[in-house]
Amino acid sequence: MAGYLAAGGLLALAQSALAVPVLEARIVSTPTTTFTSDAATIVPIVPVTNVSYHGPYTGPAPTTTGAMSTSVLASSVPILPPEAGKFAYPADGDLHADEPAPYTPAGGLGTNGSEPVYRVQSDFDYQSIALGLYQEWIELDLFHWGLATYSTEEWEAAGLTAEDRFLIEFMADQEVGHATILTNMLGPNAPKQCTYNYPTMNPREYIDFNQKLTRWGESGVYGFLNHLDSREVGQILLQSITTEARQQMIFRQFNGQFPMPVWFESGIPQSWAWTLLAPYISSCPEGTKQLIWQNYPALHILNQPNVARIDGASVYNETLGDYANTANTAGIAPKDACVNATEVGANCSPAITHNRTIPLSYPGREVFLQWDKPGSPVGPNNSYITSTSAGTPMFALWVSQLNATYTPLLNVSGNTGYTIQPNVSTFEGDPAINGTMFLALTDVDIPVTPFNLSSINSHVYAVSLYQAG
C-alpha cells in the first residue's frame, strides 16, 4: 500500500420504523439498546515510539554535508513574463466550451474521470512532501515532550487546565495520522522519527515556541501546495494542513494572543521552512536521505516583541536566542507580565481572544537585527551546512498575508543593522504587517508575489520569524 491512499469503507446502519401505539410511546421512546459495529477497514498507522533522547547531536562527524545535488542548470530560476494565454479567457460568466458532463464546466485538472493515484510524481513532489513529513514528526514529538516535561502545577500556573492539556495530547494524535498519510504517499524511503533538540523553556515559552513552529509548518505547505505535480497528493495535503492551521490558532489562544489577526495566511518557500525546522532536529536514523532544501544563516531579532509583557514592543534581547526567536519570560517582573494583569487590553491569559491596548509592534518601529555568517553545521546529525549565495544584505523583506514588502537596512555594520517596520496594507483596513510572520534579509529588492516567492531565494541571506501581533 506504500505510495497509495487506502480507501475506507462506510458502514450504514438503518433501523426499520415500527408503528407504536400512542399509549405506549412513553415506554419505547427511551432507547434500551445501543447498536455498534467495528470499522470496516482500519488503515495501520506508521510505527510511532517515544523519542528517548532530547538534546544536541553528539555523534560522529557526518560523512555527507550539505544538500544532495545533480547537475545544476543555472544559478537561479529566471523571472519571466506571464505564460502565453494567461489573459485569453474572458471571465465574463458565460460558458465558452462544451460541457464534458451535465452541470460540469469545461476545464480543470484531474477532472477527466481517471482514477486518482495518491503518490508523489516528481523530485519536487518527493522533496516537498518529505519536508512536510519532517514537520509532522517534530510536532508529534514536541506535543508529547511538553506534556511529559512540565508538572501539573507548572501548567496550571500558566493558566492551562487538564482539558487544555488534553487538547495538546489530541493534537499529537492528529500528527500520527498526518505522518501516516505522508509516509504512504512517499513510500518506503520516507523519513522516519528523529531525535530533537529544543530550547530550555518554561510552559509559557513552550507555547510560544509551538505557535511559531506550527506557523512555519503551515506556511511552508502553503508555499508549495499549488506547485505540486501530483494534484491528488495536494488534495490530501490540503486536508491535513487545514488541521495544522487550527493548531496554530489554538496555540495563539493558549498564548493569550488574538487568534487570527490577518485576512490571509502567507506561504513561504521550502528552504525557508527547512531553515527554521532543521536546527531543532538532533539526529535521524541511519539511511535517512538528504533533503535538497537550503539552510540559511540565522537571523536574530534583537528587539523581538515579547507576547508575555503588557508592553511587548518596548523590549530588547528577550528571546531564547534560537532560530525561531522564541520569547524569553525570565526577566519579566510580575507587574509587567500580562498574564498577571486584570484589566481588559492588558491581560494575556489563555482565552478565546484578547485585544491588546498596547500593540506588540507598529509602523515606524525600529527593528534591530543581527545575522550569523554561513558555514554552521545544523540539522540531523549536523549533516547540513548553512549557506547563502546572496551578497551583503541591503534590504529586509517582510512576508505577511499577500504582501512581500522591502525596507532598506540601515546603519549596517558587520553583521548588524536595523530597519523600519513599514506602514502597508493588504487591502484598505487590513494592515499587512501583523501576526506571526516572516522576515528575511536580501541583497536586492526584486518584486515577488505569493506564487513566485521562491524566486528571491538566491538573494536571501538569512530568515526568521517576526512577532508583529
> How far is Cα 197 from Cα 142, in angstroms, rounded to an integer?
10
Residues contacting residue 27 through CB under 8 Å, at least 6 positions apart: none
Predicted confidence band of residue 41 (pLDDT cuts 50, 70, 90): low
Instruction: Write out 313-355 in H/E/C secondary structure.
Output: CCCCCCECCCCCCCECCCCCCHHHEHHHCCCCCCCCCCCCCCC
What pLDDT, on a 0 to 100 scale, did the predictor assign at position 172? 97
Mean pLDDT of the chain: 91
Residues 309, 315: contact at Cβ < 8 Å? yes
- Specify the amino acid at residue 281: I
Say which amino acid occupies 212.
K
3-state secondary structure of 80: coil
Which neighbouring-strand residues pair with 437? 466
pLDDT tens digit sequence for 255-307: 999 999 999 999 999 999 999 999 999 999 998 999 999 999 999 999 999 99
Residue 20 in this model has a pLDDT that exceeds 70: no
Instruction: Check residues 378 and 51 and name the one with the higher pLDDT.
Output: 378
Cell numbers found for residue 91: 471571465
Q: Check whether 462 has a pLDDT greater than 90.
A: yes
The pLDDT, as a whole number, for residue 72 is: 87
Q: Answer whether residue 234 shows pLDDT above 70.
A: yes
Burial profile 336-374: b = 16 or more Cβ within 10 angstroms, e = fewer: bbbbebeeeebbbbbeeebebeebbbeeebebbbebbeb
* pLDDT for res 468: 97
Question: Kind and range of the H or E element at 440?
Answer: strand 436-442
- If pLDDT is split at 50, 70 and 90, which confidence band does 32 have? low
Q: What is the pLDDT of residues 98-141, one digit of tens each?
A: 888 899 898 999 999 999 999 999 999 999 999 999 999 999 99
Note the pLDDT of residue 62.
Answer: 83
> Structure pTM?
0.90
Q: Residue 38 contacts by C-beta under 8 Å, 6 or more apart in sequence?
A: none
